[in-house]
Amino acid sequence: MSIKKVLHYGEPSLREPSKEVHKVSKKITELIRDLFDTMYAQNGVGLAAPQIGVNLRVFVIDASTNEEPLEPMVFINPKIIKKSGAVKSNEGCLSFPDAYTDVVRYENIMVKAINENGKPFVMEVKGGNLLARAIQHENDHLDGILFIDHCLNRFETQEVLKKYNLPDLDPDMLIDEEEMKSQL
């Protein structure tokens, strides 16, 4: 459909929780196409609706790699229903151009959602791979949580934000993940 502007860190709507989708309508189908078009134009792995200013519980992912070819995926009203383990990764985000920092994510997850045809599905992803991390990252966007809220070192993350002229880290938004961090 069309490439949309990706909101950057500091836009208040990135911190707002998104609303549930009640019907996979033509509007939602167009939103999904816009998300894919925008994500591919930005060379992203995933993109959530709030990142283009639409606070609905929808995100798309294409985590395909040469080692692991996958189909592009759509998640509507996703909910992570099972999680275990911990994995450290260096993450970035299209809403934080060029900024990367180390974060902690669950290694194994199970997510339930609705696909672009309105059909519910459950997916289990193990091993802390790119898909598992991307699902958690994009799902967080739907709750107004950003990847920097999971940072392993707030001082290093603050320096990265400063380097790219992004707003300061909000210490009140940091998520206490000491139990997960102890598993690393």
DSSP state of 67: S
The bridge status of strand 108-114 relative to strand 73-84 is antiparallel
CA proximity to 45, closest of 136, 174, 112: 136
Active site residue 138: yes
40 vs 36: CA distance, rounded Å? 6
Task: List 47's β-bridge partners, or say none.
Answer: 60
Specify whether the CB–CB gap between 138 and 63 falls below 8 A.
Answer: no
157 vs 170: CA distance, rounded Å? 11
108 vs 135: CA distance, rounded Å? 11
Q: Which residue has the tokens 């300061």?
A: 168
Catalytic residue among 138, 156, 177, 178: 138
The catalytic site residues sit at: 138
